[in-house]
Structure 1
Amino acid sequence: MTLAAREPALAEIMDGPCDEARLFATYRHFALANRVVSGWRRVYTSRVRPLLANGHARLLDIGFGGGDIPRALAGWARADGLALDVTAIDPDERALRYVQGRMPDAARDGVRFRAATSRELLEAGERFDIVVSNHLLHHLGDAERDELLADSTGFGARLIVHDDIERSRLAYAAWAAGALPFALDSFALVDGLRSIRRSYTAAELAALAPGWRVERMFPWRLLLVKSETP
């Protein structure tokens, strides 16, 4: 497999009707993978934390999936003694059922999870200082991606970071080998490989998002960024 071109027509199992127990197992396995490769700790320390030094900030996570990223961001800020108010949204009711079933209110680290779209919050007049997403861009069709980017800029945020996979043969081979244990009870192996095949190269993403910065981050990450400072 060359991975020379994106395969946006390749559907991921978790994006359609599927077995909910296996979907929830997929959320759990992807949370483990996120801790290893997504780089959100680095994003927090280098980009988010400096914005919190002068007081309270509101953060919106779009497409929370298993909920691990917004909980991690809220937890790091709390450990640093900083005030970060986190709202996490996902239009998929199954994602909300997952976090509600897995985490009672007291265990959600103060994150408000909602089944909603970014457009709904924007039309309701919500404002956020920081807007983020993780592994969302490659799931979206062209019109959905363009709407996400437009919505992201409409909240008045000082920092926007959409963190996604960079398509490469090395990333594909690494996931094919490393995610084999996940294949037994979830869609993580198959959907992870499909995610890579659906994802962008840096040049592709830059061409589709004029006015945004595309930054590479190890390993196999692309950050699509807008911020007040370079």
Structure 2
Amino acid sequence: MKRPGPLLTLLAGLVLGLFMLTLNATSGTKTASSSYREKSPSASPKAPAKTSPTPSVTPSQTPSPSKPPVANANYAGRTDDDAASVAVSVRDGKAVAYFCDGRYKEAWLRGRVNNNGSMKLTAPNGAVLDGRIEQGKKITGTVKDEGRPYTFTADKAVKPSGLWRATAKVRGAKIDGGWIVLPNGRQTGIVTRDGKAASAPRIDPETGAVTVDGQQLTAQPVTP
């Protein structure tokens, strides 16, 4: 029996070489998918979306309603010692007042009325009235005249009660008369003739008619 000889040895070496070549090709080749995965950078985590801070809402402050001006009205009354009368006329936040004892003492006062009803009225002769309207029904306060204080209460007055005034020339003299008609019909007034004061005659509170030194005049309601 003959040995295989060199031919068999050569075939065996060829088979072994082909096997080794196939093994190297298989281990050295990478799939496309694995190569793509290696080359692709790892996905970075998605940054959170920025949200604008919600602006704080400051509740709008509703302004407190301002107190309305005091109502237009007339007031008339007496001082607490019953020595004099006081009348006040209020119109559109302004006031005029008359303080009169019916003989020689008098003062015309003017000023503003605050929304809370308080007032400070002054007169050319230095008299001062400090008062306050209470619930629209009356005025209480003090008139200081010639250094003396007179406390008073003046109730709300409806025409014909209230404050009246007449000015005219009578027989060459300058006449200036002031009257306070109280709600009970009582009257207090002074007429000055060229600056000289004296008690005033009564007026007709329905018409304002009055006779001064024989001449008929017409007094008018006083407003600021």
TM-score calculated relative to the size of structure 1: 0.22
Higher Rg: 2
Decide which structure has greater helix share: 1
Higher relative contact order (CA 8 A, sep 6+): 1
Of Structure 1 and Structure 2, the greater strand share is in 2
